[in-house]
Chains A and B, each alone.
Chain A
Amino acid sequence: MPRVETTPVELSPALEAATPTQFASLVDVLRYRAAEQSGNTGYIFLPDRSGERTELTYAGLYDRAQAVALRLAERGKRGDRAALLFPPGLDFVVAFFGCLLAGIIAVPMMIPRRDSTRDVSAAILADCAPRFAVTCHDLIAGARPDLAQRLSSAGVEWLFADCTRARPDTALPAVEGTDIAFLQYTSGSTAAPKGVIVNHDNLMHNLEMIRIAFGNTQRSTNVSWVPHYHDMGLILGILQPLYLGALGVLMAPVSFMQRPLSWLKAIHDYRAEIAGGPNFAFDLCVRRHRCEQMRGIDLSSWKLAYNGAEPVRAETLERFHSTFSAYGFAANSAHPAYGMAEATLLVSSGKRGGGPVTATISREALQQHRAVSATRSEDAHRVVGCGRALTGERLAIVDPESQRRLAPYFIGEVWVAGPNVAQGFWRNPEATNTVFRAVIDGEEVGYWLRTGDLGFLDDGGELYITGRIKDLIIIRGINHYPQDIENTVQDCDPVLRRHCGAAFAVPDQNNEEQLVVVQELERVHRHRVAIPELIATIREAITREHDIAPREIVLIRTGTLPQTTSGKIQRHLARHLFLTGSLAAVQ
């Protein structure tokens, strides 16, 4: 058996339980908080430099959410969908709980960017066919009047969460654990978005798993800047605090992107225990670190800095610690985790205070799908452990071809089973079967979720992610599908051959994923175009439509992009040719 040396994990002592009651649904949680902690502040939204700080007590949240719910229940019926389109702020929280109280399925959405022409929102609306579009009046009346027209489709009724009245005799339904709470659209391409179906049972289980793994209590204030339409922002930033009865401090993603140190200042101001984000967020804090802006900031309250939604880098953890340890940030507060919307959110995690675990494995053995300790430094590759299976959940590493279970230290696809695994994809039985109903060859017990990620387990059950099978590009925690980017490229000019492009990610010098596009030219048009102009046009289209700055665009000769015999693009092979400099580039 190949062995890997790992650094030991220290477990923190058991922490006091925060949740005395077993809840059947998030609606029960909200009613409990509104009754037991009515005057306590549940959420605070911090403004940017200008703007107002807003707060919601649990009673205030319940009242406002109920007003929205009554309006929804008056106009719609249980199981209808409501698209939620909100700028960062507490109105989203009100609308989200309004949906749940009314038994209406919430669909949190990103507000489409002004200058994109074919973003995913139209396809999401077509997929979930909402009865309502809920937003705040200010957004439509003020900054984005284009939205009303852009999103108007037959049968959708607009509703404003900030000015809502309903008939007083409207009744709200009883909500059960098997009722769908929301659809999370983070999977699938623009052309075919997939809405993960999360019901109240899934939520209750995953929120409890998070509470146990994180050692959370009512004192576990969280400061989150992650967007509310992102599963991490919603579950950890908004729902876990309510579940605990702890304060949730929210800030706009833009505030963080511009002034990441304001996030650290908020952690200090509210003595927050919990705060996190994708890996890039920690790098951004280091890059923007200014001593004079950190004066007086004490990060010693920060017990758990979760890092997930994109690959976790050992160098990032080290840089962050060496920069911020002077302000009281402890090395064992770094908390790598692994999760996805298909499992509600969290899949694996260490225990609070355990600190990160890293392993140095051989690159050569990695190619052979084995994790073996590296013996030569030039062959060494560091991977960060993402913790273990959560309470009540199982993880398996499975050969994606034979679908047989693999032993520890063998690399295969990560499969998950547990009550946090979601119900499937909305109205998509085919994809649901493939992804949510997998069976391990030779084993009888139950269905598994296929994550599409590659990794291994060590003999202590620690999960390490080493790559992915699915063609997915993750930039700043946001998933992008290569076929969407390839389509955008091929629409730029007829000289760019249809179905003959490959978009993929490569790490830069900081180990952050960067987008590379390789695209074939049509032989007949080749001499008609100026290559630098064409590249600029492609760069502009990708930036506008996908909001990614492509690192490199390579135009190649007709017929030189690797494809299978059936004409499928081999993106992995194209990536390999790019990295080894063996593409037939046209200058």
Chain B
Amino acid sequence: MPENPSETEISEWCVKYLARTLDLPEATIDPDASFARLGLDSANSLYLIVELEEWLGVELTTEVIVEYPSIAELARYLVQHAAGGNNAR
């Protein structure tokens, strides 16, 4: 895990991850688009949360995707509340 990743780093990581899992070109993944618009179903949402937990070393609730429904919003939340060793439960 990187030392306190920035909002941009988290956002880029999410774009790369979603491009890979959803089999879409990275360029088509708009960080401001809603997760539903990108085609993220509930199973893939759960997988994304788990991957983020593992990468950032934090615990997240399953509701974060509902409360922060785009890559940009999620990255902003994560950098403020989750990254840097804080527990985001």
Contact = CB atoms under 8 A, between A and B. Distances in A.
B39 interface: yes
B22 A549 contact: yes
Interface string A538-558: 011011100111110000000
6 contacts: A50-B89, A115-B36, A539-B38, A543-B36, A543-B37, A551-B23
A381 interface: no
B49 A549 contact: no
Q: Is the interface of A mostly helix, strand, loop or mixed?
A: loop
Nearest to B60: A258
Interface in A146-163: none
Interface in B1-59: 22-23, 28, 33-34, 36-44, 46-47, 49-50, 59
Given A254-B62, A258-B49, A258-B62, A476 B38 contact: no
| Size bracket, chain A contacts | 20 to 34
Interface of A: 49-50, 113-115, 254, 257-259, 288, 476, 532, 536-537, 539-540, 542-544, 547-551
A168 to B, nearest CB: 42
B39 A540 contact: yes
Given A254-B62, A549-B22, A536 B46 contact: no
A100 to B, nearest CB: 31
Contact of A547 (B22, B33, B41): B41
B41 A549 contact: yes
A540 B49 contact: no
A85 B33 CA distance: 33
Contacts of B46: 254, 257-258
A31 to B, nearest CB: 39
Q: Is the interface of B mostly helix, strand, loop or mixed?
A: helix
B52 to A, nearest CB: 11
A544 to B, nearest CB: 5
A128 B89 CA distance: 41
A542 B59 CA distance: 29
B34 A540 contact: yes
A49 B40 CA distance: 24
Nearest to A546: B41
Given A257-B47, A543-B40, A547-B41, 14 more contacts: A50-B89, A115-B36, A258-B49, A258-B62, A288-B50, A536-B33, A539-B37, A539-B38, A539-B39, A540-B36, A543-B36, A544-B36, A549-B39, A551-B23
A543 to B, nearest CB: 5
Given A49-B59, A258-B62, A549 B50 contact: no
Contacts of B43: 257, 476, 547
B62 A549 contact: no
Given A257-B46, A259-B50, A288-B50, A548 B41 contact: yes
Contacts of A115: 36
A550 B37 CA distance: 11
A49 B58 CA distance: 13
A258 B50 contact: yes
Of the candidates B36, B47, B59, B66, the one having the most CB atoms from chain A within 10 angstroms of its own CB is: B36
A257 B28 CA distance: 27
A404 to B, nearest CB: 42
A548 B36 CA distance: 10
Nearest to B59: A49
B50 A550 contact: no
Contact of B40 (A254, A258, A288, A549): A549
A543 B41 contact: yes
Contacts of B62: 254, 258
